[in-house]
Amino acid sequence: MNRIDRISAILIQLQSRRVVKAADIAERFGISLRTVYRDVKTLEEAGVPLMGEAGVGYSIMDGYRLPPVMFTKEEATAFLTAEKFIEKLTDNSTTSYHRSAMDKIRAILRTAEKNTLEDLDGSIAVLKSHSQRRANNQDHIQTILSAIGQKRVLKLDYFAMHSQQQTSRMVEPVGIYYLDSYWHLIAYCRMRSDYRDFRLDRIKGINITDDEYSDQHPALKDYIDQTAREHKLETVIMRVKKKTYHYLTNQKYYNGFVSEVEVGDEWEMTFLTTSIEGFARWFMMFGDLATIITPDVLNERIQEIASAIVKK
């Protein structure tokens, strides 16, 4: 970051808080305290009404260069709530950009609204449950969105779980969505000549190419709705004892395996299946050492099959 951009960013940071310590500025921008003092002096010489107190920090006069657009307390609180979700459910780049945007929002608030946000900051939390996967989204979200905005082809190094192989793909990105702890990319895969769903944690490398695409792809929502209608996918979550897990081998991929997480002495596994009947009969092979968490209709069908077997 050049000095002009840094000084502008420092001004926004100063406007976004009641008091900002020199050490906090130095840490954020990776500069020395001496450089901070020099940058602050530059702002003062430019006419910015700064107040500084030794051991406390810098503050800026309330109402200084107040922009014409203002947010209400409720709107600012909604942004703060969204920030908590972004920090937990996206990636580092998206979190960084949102934090920068929040500084700009705080910068145009009056002191009373800033105080409200600071008081509420410790009263809002987003926690992950034990059953929720700890997904690594690989910091790819902003790269994908940039490619979509430029209509540029992406080069992916992708690890396919069903084949246990890594392949290189040229894809035309359509959109991204979040489902069950994971972010997904929907894109037209030139290698397969069809649309594919790529999970971000399995994208091992990603680059925006100079190749532009002009094809009109369906909107993300339309694609998801159409796929759901065509395949009538049903989400299945089950838990399997660890001593049984190795018996599943590659069969889990044939039954729509999506992800898994360790829970005590069990593995909690998520599937997307097109056939409740088929899944129920596969489950019967190891059902005494496993439990269906959802859906209820699958549990009911398993019980019906078991009852029919007993009656024979």
pLDDT tens digits along 154-199: 999 998 766 678 889 999 999 998 876 788 899 999 988 888 889 8
**Band (287; pLDDT cuts 50, 70, 90):** confident
**Band (95; pLDDT cuts 50, 70, 90):** confident
CA-based diameter of the chain, in Å? Answer: 92
Q: Are 32 and 26 in contact (CB under 8 A)?
A: yes
| % pLDDT > 70, the chain | 90
Reported as a single tens digit per residue, the pLDDT across 199-240 is 898 999 999 999 999 878 888 878 777 776 666 678 899 999
> Distance (Å, rounded) from C-alpha 286 to C-alpha 290?
7
Does this model's pTM top 0.85? My answer is no
> Distance (Å, rounded) from C-alpha 86 to C-alpha 101?
12
Give pLDDT, residue 265.
86
pLDDT score of 132 more than 70: no
pLDDT score of 68 more than 60: no
